[in-house]
Structure 1
């Protein structure tokens, strides 16, 4: 019973964290546009988040080893709360870029610490269920955070204070726990040679998804604002894309279990590229057509990264899944950092619709590369592949998420059943 209560308390802490993160991310893009920040500044706000998130994935495990999980989490939550309040008090484009990087750093650290506690209470029998519930809660809470902006609006102090309350309340489940602290956190490390040798398609998919999704997540709210949507309209626009994207993971994931996953990647990326081109050509103003396009885009673009991770896992050897997925995570982070900056410059030259030139280009690159690789390498037999596993959005995946993923169980060796705490610790230390 105590373990069950602890798990649900951690789910609550994660939900509060994701709620605040979803609200803050959308709020800053729209409020920045209302404050007449330049497009480049708005893009760099997204870049700052990604740089901070990757830095946190690398550095926070060292902080935790020095001061412990509870203290480290409290520091991350406190600094995250201060940053969103400073966004309100210091409305300046350069200041927001710096604060957004700090926020990304703290968000990565806080999420990793919550996930490390979930890793501690999960065993191989419950890991899949815990991971699925965790991913579902994260996506739902992040979407609710975005929808909250339709209620709070972007003016005044209310949305910033609501986000700050959410961040600081997330500390309560870990601060009140009486259980022993988890083992050390996994730290993200980049093994490009192993990743590319295992799956060139996965490496290209990670970068392409980062470029496209980083651009879309940061600058699509600006596009909506420029096309005449108010704060509520933008919030629901993103909610539709996020909800359909989450739903789409199941059917497309199951389809990829039955056929060569590269065909699924080609179909999804090709469809996302076509939708991007249609948005460029039609450039719809506020209205039902924009919602249709964004819904369709979310439906085909959001599952891409999860399918790419599953494809990489098909070719990973025993003990390599977490290292391969960790390499994909850092390549994704590079794309998430570069994409908004590049897209913002193109939007400044060609107008807001240039955002979808970028998404169309990189989705087309992924589809084309996956097709070429199909002509060079056969897919493994369906019986030899691990089942598809839904994942959170690209901004919700940390090295600890990868360790929690039930597919990482294979990293413990042929038995897939680490029999002791020491063995499970060794799995995590080798993971990423």
Structure 2
């Protein structure tokens, strides 16, 4: 198992650092918008823009990876994610925050696509399940652990946004310095929603419902926790 994981240590470490910042940023945004007095409906719309960017990335990032490769794409998307995070404390406005949230969703979707294609390409078929399981543990542990950083500074300041941006920038280092070969660039055939439904209708419906529930929970959970009914 150690020999299987060794080629992916840099990638998984970069993802862990990046998603630690992502976990912090998601919760921080909800709480900070509550502090700023944004209406609950506006908070929901701003946080939903993450999903809009996520979907748009599926149309663009595959082409980007094929043009410039995995490592350059990782560097570019991480840099954009860090830059967009620094906008939040500079412009406290729901429209600007919605745009930046969409940008972050776009970047994160591209990074997920990149990481999973890298793992799939470089892992023997018989060990793919084990590697993807370790990848899932890494991502969820980082997303969950990042939320504990919310206690480091006051949410009304700029420091936590800077910390998230710092983590996004730091995540570049392991991948940029890795000696492991990046995956071969192959031409992928796009799969439409109708084709996905024909292949697995229950899977598509289940994934859609699970995504809606998880997205609502992670976006609005921190706000609801501060509601009087939960005190």
- Scaled by the length of structure 1, the TM-score of the pair is 0.50
Deviation at 1:57, TM superposition (A): 2.2
Alpha carbons of 1:50 and 1:188: their partners in 2 closer, same or farther (altered >3 Å)? farther
Max Rg structure: 1
Deviation at 1:5, TM superposition (A): 3.5
**The residue matched to 1:183 in structure 2 has which SS?**
coil
Alpha carbons of 1:6 and 1:158: their partners in 2 closer, same or farther (altered >3 Å)? farther
Alpha carbons of 1:198 and 1:68: their partners in 2 closer, same or farther (altered >3 Å)? closer
Structure 1 match to 2:192: 190
Higher relative contact order (CA 8 A, sep 6+): 2
Structure 1 match to 2:98: 97
Q: Tell me how far apart the structure 2 counterparts of residues 187 and 138 of structure 1 sit (CA, whole Å).
A: 27
Q: Tell me how far apart the structure 1 counterparts of residues 189 and 214 of structure 2 sit (CA, whole Å).
A: 24
1:23-34 to structure 2, matched below 5 A, reads 23-34=24-35
Q: Tell me how far apart the structure 1 counterparts of residues 26 and 113 of structure 2 sit (CA, whole Å).
A: 19
> Would the aligned equivalents of 1:13 and 1:114 in 2 still touch at CA under 8 Å?
no
> Would the aligned equivalents of 1:73 and 1:171 in 2 still touch at CA under 8 Å?
yes
Structure 1 match to 2:70: 69
Cα deviations by residue, 1:229-285 (Å, 9 ceiling, x for unpaired) = xxxxxxxxxxxxxxxxxxxxxxxxxxxxxxxxxxxxxxxxxxxxxxxxxxxxxxx42
- Does residue 1:118 correspond to 2:63, yes or no? no
> Would the aligned equivalents of 1:196 and 1:203 in 2 still touch at CA under 8 Å?
yes
- Scaled by the length of structure 2, the TM-score of the pair is 0.89
1:75-94 to structure 2, matched below 5 A, reads 75-94=76-95
Q: Tell me how far apart the structure 2 counterparts of residues 206 and 4 of structure 1 sit (CA, whole Å).
A: 28
> Would the aligned equivalents of 2:23 and 2:144 in 1 still touch at CA under 8 Å?
yes
Structure 2 residues not aligned, in runs of 5+? none
**The residue matched to 1:73 in structure 2 has which SS?**
helix
Q: Tell me how far apart the structure 2 counterparts of residues 213 and 126 of structure 1 sit (CA, whole Å).
A: 29
Alpha carbons of 1:211 and 1:132: their partners in 2 closer, same or farther (altered >3 Å)? closer
Structure 2 match to 1:172: 173
Structure 1 residues not aligned, in runs of 5+? 228-283, 287-432
Q: Tell me how far apart the structure 1 counterparts of residues 131 and 204 of structure 2 sit (CA, whole Å).
A: 27
Alpha carbons of 1:117 and 1:209: their partners in 2 closer, same or farther (altered >3 Å)? closer
Structure 1 match to 2:41: 40
Cα deviations by residue, 1:86-133 (Å, 9 ceiling, x for unpaired) = 112111111000000001101111222233332233112321221111
- Does residue 1:161 correspond to 2:162, yes or no? yes
Q: Tell me how far apart the structure 1 counterparts of residues 29 and 36 of structure 2 sit (CA, whole Å).
A: 10
Q: Tell me how far apart the structure 2 counterparts of residues 71 and 180 of structure 1 sit (CA, whole Å).
A: 13
Deviation at 1:190, TM superposition (A): 2.5
Deviation at 1:150, TM superposition (A): 2.6
Alpha carbons of 1:197 and 1:62: their partners in 2 closer, same or farther (altered >3 Å)? closer
Q: Tell me how far apart the structure 2 counterparts of residues 80 and 187 of structure 1 sit (CA, whole Å).
A: 27
**The residue matched to 2:45 in structure 1 has which SS?**
helix
> Would the aligned equivalents of 1:3 and 1:121 in 2 still touch at CA under 8 Å?
no
Q: Tell me how far apart the structure 2 counterparts of residues 43 and 4 of structure 1 sit (CA, whole Å).
A: 39
Q: Tell me how far apart the structure 2 counterparts of residues 188 and 139 of structure 1 sit (CA, whole Å).
A: 28
Alpha carbons of 1:204 and 1:179: their partners in 2 closer, same or farther (altered >3 Å)? closer
Deviation at 1:15, TM superposition (A): 0.6
